Amino acid sequence: MSVRRSLLRAVAQLGYHAVRAVSPRVYAQDGLVSVHNHDFMRDESFVRAYARGLRALGDAPDYRWHWRIHVGLWAAATAAALDGDFVECGVNRGFLSSAIMERLDWDRLGRTFWLLDTFAGLDARYVSDGERTAGALERSSEELASGFYVAGAKDVIANFAQWKNARVVVGPVPDTLPSVTAVRVAYLHIDMNCAPPEVAALEHFWTRLVPGAVVLLDDYAYLGFESQKRAMDAFAARRGVAICSLPTGQGLLLRPPH
Protein backbone atom coordinates (compact mmCIF):
# COMPACT_ATOMS: atom_id res chain seq x y z
CA MET A 1 0.00 0.00 0.00
CA SER A 2 1.35 3.44 -0.88
CA VAL A 3 2.62 5.71 1.88
CA ARG A 4 -0.05 8.28 1.01
CA ARG A 5 -2.94 5.81 1.24
CA SER A 6 -1.55 4.34 4.47
CA LEU A 7 -1.31 7.84 5.94
CA LEU A 8 -4.87 8.73 4.91
CA ARG A 9 -6.23 5.55 6.46
CA ALA A 10 -4.28 6.17 9.66
CA VAL A 11 -5.61 9.74 9.88
CA ALA A 12 -9.16 8.49 9.31
CA GLN A 13 -8.82 5.91 12.07
CA LEU A 14 -7.54 8.55 14.48
CA GLY A 15 -10.53 10.71 13.58
CA TYR A 16 -12.96 7.88 14.25
CA HIS A 17 -11.35 7.15 17.62
CA ALA A 18 -11.51 10.83 18.55
CA VAL A 19 -15.22 11.05 17.69
CA ARG A 20 -16.06 7.91 19.66
CA ALA A 21 -14.00 9.15 22.61
CA VAL A 22 -16.02 12.36 22.77
CA SER A 23 -19.35 10.61 22.18
CA PRO A 24 -19.28 6.80 22.45
CA ARG A 25 -22.82 6.56 21.08
CA VAL A 26 -21.78 7.99 17.70
CA TYR A 27 -21.14 5.56 14.84
CA ALA A 28 -17.71 6.44 13.41
CA GLN A 29 -15.94 4.00 11.09
CA ASP A 30 -15.72 2.89 7.44
CA GLY A 31 -16.09 6.40 6.05
CA LEU A 32 -19.28 7.12 7.99
CA VAL A 33 -19.94 9.23 11.08
CA SER A 34 -23.55 9.22 12.25
CA VAL A 35 -25.51 10.12 15.36
CA HIS A 36 -28.42 7.96 14.23
CA ASN A 37 -29.56 4.75 15.85
CA HIS A 38 -27.36 1.75 15.10
CA ASP A 39 -28.56 -0.71 17.71
CA PHE A 40 -28.56 -3.41 15.04
CA MET A 41 -24.94 -3.91 16.11
CA ARG A 42 -26.23 -5.46 19.36
CA ASP A 43 -28.79 -7.73 17.70
CA GLU A 44 -27.84 -11.36 18.37
CA SER A 45 -28.44 -12.51 14.82
CA PHE A 46 -26.36 -9.64 13.46
CA VAL A 47 -23.53 -10.33 15.91
CA ARG A 48 -23.52 -13.99 14.91
CA ALA A 49 -23.54 -13.20 11.17
CA TYR A 50 -20.82 -10.57 11.50
CA ALA A 51 -18.66 -12.98 13.48
CA ARG A 52 -19.00 -15.56 10.70
CA GLY A 53 -17.93 -12.91 8.22
CA LEU A 54 -14.86 -12.23 10.33
CA ARG A 55 -13.94 -15.92 10.22
CA ALA A 56 -13.71 -15.64 6.44
CA LEU A 57 -11.00 -12.99 6.84
CA GLY A 58 -8.61 -15.43 8.47
CA ASP A 59 -5.73 -13.50 10.01
CA ALA A 60 -6.82 -10.17 8.49
CA PRO A 61 -8.08 -7.55 10.96
CA ASP A 62 -11.73 -6.63 11.36
CA TYR A 63 -12.71 -4.23 8.55
CA ARG A 64 -15.24 -2.58 10.91
CA TRP A 65 -17.83 -2.57 8.17
CA HIS A 66 -20.80 -2.99 10.52
CA TRP A 67 -23.23 -0.65 8.78
CA ARG A 68 -22.20 -1.88 5.34
CA ILE A 69 -22.78 -5.47 6.45
CA HIS A 70 -26.11 -4.43 7.98
CA VAL A 71 -27.21 -3.12 4.58
CA GLY A 72 -26.03 -6.33 2.91
CA LEU A 73 -27.93 -8.50 5.39
CA TRP A 74 -31.09 -6.47 4.82
CA ALA A 75 -30.69 -6.83 1.05
CA ALA A 76 -30.18 -10.58 1.36
CA ALA A 77 -33.17 -11.06 3.68
CA THR A 78 -35.34 -9.10 1.25
CA ALA A 79 -34.12 -11.20 -1.67
CA ALA A 80 -34.64 -14.44 0.26
CA ALA A 81 -38.39 -13.83 0.10
CA LEU A 82 -38.16 -13.97 -3.71
CA ASP A 83 -37.53 -16.83 -6.10
CA GLY A 84 -33.98 -17.01 -7.38
CA ASP A 85 -30.31 -17.69 -6.72
CA PHE A 86 -27.82 -15.26 -5.22
CA VAL A 87 -24.79 -13.97 -7.14
CA GLU A 88 -21.76 -12.07 -5.90
CA CYS A 89 -19.27 -10.64 -8.38
CA GLY A 90 -16.22 -9.61 -6.39
CA VAL A 91 -15.90 -11.90 -3.36
CA ASN A 92 -12.35 -11.37 -2.08
CA ARG A 93 -12.23 -13.36 1.18
CA GLY A 94 -16.00 -13.67 1.44
CA PHE A 95 -16.75 -11.37 4.38
CA LEU A 96 -20.23 -10.21 3.36
CA SER A 97 -21.34 -13.41 1.64
CA SER A 98 -20.29 -15.54 4.63
CA ALA A 99 -22.26 -13.27 6.96
CA ILE A 100 -25.30 -13.55 4.70
CA MET A 101 -25.14 -17.33 4.46
CA GLU A 102 -24.85 -17.59 8.24
CA ARG A 103 -27.76 -15.21 8.79
CA LEU A 104 -30.05 -17.01 6.33
CA ASP A 105 -29.04 -20.56 7.29
CA TRP A 106 -28.15 -20.86 3.63
CA ASP A 107 -28.55 -24.53 2.75
CA ARG A 108 -32.05 -24.48 4.23
CA LEU A 109 -33.17 -22.23 1.37
CA GLY A 110 -32.39 -24.78 -1.33
CA ARG A 111 -30.82 -22.31 -3.74
CA THR A 112 -27.31 -21.60 -4.96
CA PHE A 113 -24.97 -18.76 -4.03
CA TRP A 114 -22.63 -18.08 -6.96
CA LEU A 115 -19.33 -16.46 -5.92
CA LEU A 116 -17.24 -14.98 -8.75
CA ASP A 117 -13.80 -13.42 -8.44
CA THR A 118 -10.36 -13.44 -10.00
CA PHE A 119 -8.98 -14.07 -6.50
CA ALA A 120 -5.90 -12.31 -7.87
CA GLY A 121 -6.79 -8.60 -8.02
CA LEU A 122 -7.84 -6.70 -11.13
CA ASP A 123 -7.48 -8.18 -14.60
CA ALA A 124 -5.70 -5.50 -16.65
CA ARG A 125 -7.71 -6.41 -19.76
CA TYR A 126 -10.89 -5.11 -18.16
CA VAL A 127 -9.68 -1.84 -16.66
CA SER A 128 -10.96 1.28 -18.39
CA ASP A 129 -8.53 3.90 -19.68
CA GLY A 130 -9.69 6.37 -17.07
CA GLU A 131 -9.24 3.90 -14.23
CA ARG A 132 -5.85 2.89 -15.57
CA THR A 133 -4.75 6.53 -15.63
CA ALA A 134 -6.06 7.00 -12.09
CA GLY A 135 -3.82 4.18 -10.87
CA ALA A 136 -6.31 1.32 -10.49
CA LEU A 137 -3.78 -1.35 -11.41
CA GLU A 138 -1.22 0.05 -9.00
CA ARG A 139 -3.80 0.08 -6.21
CA SER A 140 -4.72 -3.50 -7.01
CA SER A 141 -1.08 -4.56 -6.77
CA GLU A 142 -0.73 -2.73 -3.46
CA GLU A 143 -3.84 -4.40 -2.04
CA LEU A 144 -2.50 -7.81 -3.09
CA ALA A 145 0.88 -7.10 -1.55
CA SER A 146 -0.68 -5.88 1.70
CA GLY A 147 -2.91 -8.94 1.95
CA PHE A 148 -6.16 -7.00 1.73
CA TYR A 149 -6.90 -8.72 -1.58
CA VAL A 150 -6.75 -12.48 -1.36
CA ALA A 151 -4.10 -14.14 -3.55
CA GLY A 152 -5.57 -17.44 -4.69
CA ALA A 153 -8.89 -19.18 -4.10
CA LYS A 154 -7.78 -22.06 -1.86
CA ASP A 155 -8.65 -20.46 1.48
CA VAL A 156 -11.86 -18.98 0.07
CA ILE A 157 -13.04 -22.37 -1.17
CA ALA A 158 -12.26 -23.85 2.24
CA ASN A 159 -14.25 -21.08 3.92
CA PHE A 160 -17.36 -21.79 1.83
CA ALA A 161 -17.08 -25.58 2.20
CA GLN A 162 -19.45 -25.18 5.15
CA TRP A 163 -22.33 -24.80 2.71
CA LYS A 164 -23.18 -27.37 0.06
CA ASN A 165 -25.01 -24.79 -2.08
CA ALA A 166 -22.08 -22.40 -2.55
CA ARG A 167 -20.31 -22.30 -5.92
CA VAL A 168 -16.94 -20.55 -6.12
CA VAL A 169 -16.12 -19.52 -9.71
CA VAL A 170 -12.49 -18.52 -10.28
CA GLY A 171 -11.58 -16.09 -13.06
CA PRO A 172 -12.33 -12.60 -14.34
CA VAL A 173 -15.76 -11.23 -15.14
CA PRO A 174 -17.03 -11.17 -17.87
CA ASP A 175 -15.21 -14.38 -18.86
CA THR A 176 -16.82 -16.42 -16.09
CA LEU A 177 -20.40 -15.14 -16.39
CA PRO A 178 -21.53 -18.07 -18.59
CA SER A 179 -20.57 -20.41 -15.72
CA VAL A 180 -23.54 -19.16 -13.73
CA THR A 181 -26.43 -21.39 -14.80
CA ALA A 182 -29.04 -19.68 -12.62
CA VAL A 183 -32.20 -18.92 -14.59
CA ARG A 184 -33.58 -16.56 -11.93
CA VAL A 185 -31.54 -14.27 -9.68
CA ALA A 186 -32.96 -12.61 -6.55
CA TYR A 187 -29.79 -10.99 -5.22
CA LEU A 188 -26.81 -9.53 -7.05
CA HIS A 189 -23.88 -8.00 -5.22
CA ILE A 190 -21.23 -6.25 -7.32
CA ASP A 191 -17.87 -5.29 -5.84
CA MET A 192 -15.08 -5.55 -8.43
CA ASN A 193 -13.51 -2.10 -8.00
CA CYS A 194 -13.53 -1.60 -11.76
CA ALA A 195 -16.30 -0.27 -14.01
CA PRO A 196 -16.20 -2.46 -17.18
CA PRO A 197 -16.67 -5.86 -15.47
CA GLU A 198 -19.25 -4.40 -13.10
CA VAL A 199 -21.40 -3.09 -15.95
CA ALA A 200 -20.88 -6.35 -17.84
CA ALA A 201 -22.19 -8.31 -14.86
CA LEU A 202 -25.26 -6.11 -14.45
CA GLU A 203 -26.00 -6.27 -18.17
CA HIS A 204 -25.62 -10.05 -18.15
CA PHE A 205 -27.92 -10.69 -15.21
CA TRP A 206 -30.48 -7.94 -15.78
CA THR A 207 -32.98 -10.12 -17.64
CA ARG A 208 -32.54 -12.90 -15.06
CA LEU A 209 -33.30 -10.64 -12.11
CA VAL A 210 -36.77 -11.43 -10.82
CA PRO A 211 -39.17 -8.53 -10.11
CA GLY A 212 -38.09 -6.90 -6.86
CA ALA A 213 -34.62 -8.45 -7.00
CA VAL A 214 -31.99 -6.54 -5.03
CA VAL A 215 -28.82 -5.23 -6.66
CA LEU A 216 -26.23 -3.98 -4.17
CA LEU A 217 -23.26 -1.98 -5.50
CA ASP A 218 -20.46 -1.87 -2.95
CA ASP A 219 -18.42 1.07 -4.25
CA TYR A 220 -21.13 3.14 -5.96
CA ALA A 221 -20.73 6.23 -3.76
CA TYR A 222 -17.29 5.54 -2.36
CA LEU A 223 -14.76 8.35 -2.70
CA GLY A 224 -12.24 7.55 -5.41
CA PHE A 225 -14.52 5.21 -7.37
CA GLU A 226 -16.32 7.81 -9.47
CA SER A 227 -15.75 5.85 -12.70
CA GLN A 228 -17.92 3.05 -11.35
CA LYS A 229 -20.66 5.45 -10.29
CA ARG A 230 -20.75 7.13 -13.70
CA ALA A 231 -20.87 3.78 -15.46
CA MET A 232 -23.68 2.50 -13.25
CA ASP A 233 -25.63 5.74 -13.59
CA ALA A 234 -25.40 5.41 -17.38
CA PHE A 235 -26.67 1.82 -17.16
CA ALA A 236 -29.56 2.90 -14.93
CA ALA A 237 -30.49 5.73 -17.30
CA ARG A 238 -30.63 3.31 -20.24
CA ARG A 239 -32.96 1.06 -18.27
CA GLY A 240 -35.12 3.85 -16.88
CA VAL A 241 -34.35 2.99 -13.26
CA ALA A 242 -32.69 4.84 -10.38
CA ILE A 243 -29.92 3.89 -7.98
CA CYS A 244 -30.20 4.95 -4.34
CA SER A 245 -26.91 6.37 -3.06
CA LEU A 246 -26.20 5.29 0.53
CA PRO A 247 -23.95 7.00 3.09
CA THR A 248 -22.09 3.70 3.52
CA GLY A 249 -20.70 4.22 0.01
CA GLN A 250 -22.98 1.55 -1.41
CA GLY A 251 -25.64 1.88 -4.09
CA LEU A 252 -28.99 0.12 -3.99
CA LEU A 253 -31.15 -0.81 -6.97
CA LEU A 254 -34.38 -2.82 -7.10
CA ARG A 255 -35.41 -4.61 -10.28
CA PRO A 256 -38.74 -3.12 -11.39
CA PRO A 257 -41.69 -5.43 -12.11
CA HIS A 258 -41.42 -5.06 -15.87
Q: Where are the domains of the chain?
A: 1-37, 40-254
The chain-wide mean pLDDT, for the chain, equals 93
DSSP string, 139-179: HHHHHHHHTSS-SSSHHHHHHHTT-TTEEEEES-TTTTGGG
pLDDT score of 12 more than 80: no
CA angle 189, 165, 148 (to 5 degrees): 45
pLDDT band at 1; cut points 50, 70, 90: very low
What pLDDT does 4 receive? 45
66-80 and 95-104 helices cross at what angle (nearest 10)? 50
Statement: residue 3 has pLDDT above 60 = no
* pLDDT tens string 61-103: 999 999 999 999 999 999 999 999 999 999 999 999 999 999 9
Report which of 87, 125, 83 is spatially closest to residue 205, judged by C-alpha positions: 87
The answer on pLDDT for 13 being more than 70 is: no
- Bridge partners of 123? none
CA distances from 70 to 1, 26, 189, 217 (A): 28, 16, 14, 14
Q: What is the crossing angle of helices 195-205 and 226-239, to 10°?
A: 30
Q: What is the DSSP string of 238-250?
A: HHT--PEE-TTS-
Q: Which long-range contacts (CB under 8 A, 24 or more apart) does 3-10 make?
A: 5/139, 5/142
Rounded mean pLDDT, 189-193: 98
Looking at the domain that runs over 40-254, which CATH code has it been given? 3.40.50.150
pTM, 2 dp: 0.93
Whether residue 203 is predicted with pLDDT greater than 70 in this model: the reply is: yes
Q: Which residues contact 81 (CB under 8 A, 6 or more apart)?
A: none
pLDDT in tens, 141-163: 999 999 999 999 999 999 999 99
Cβ atoms of 167 and 85 within 8 Å: the answer is no
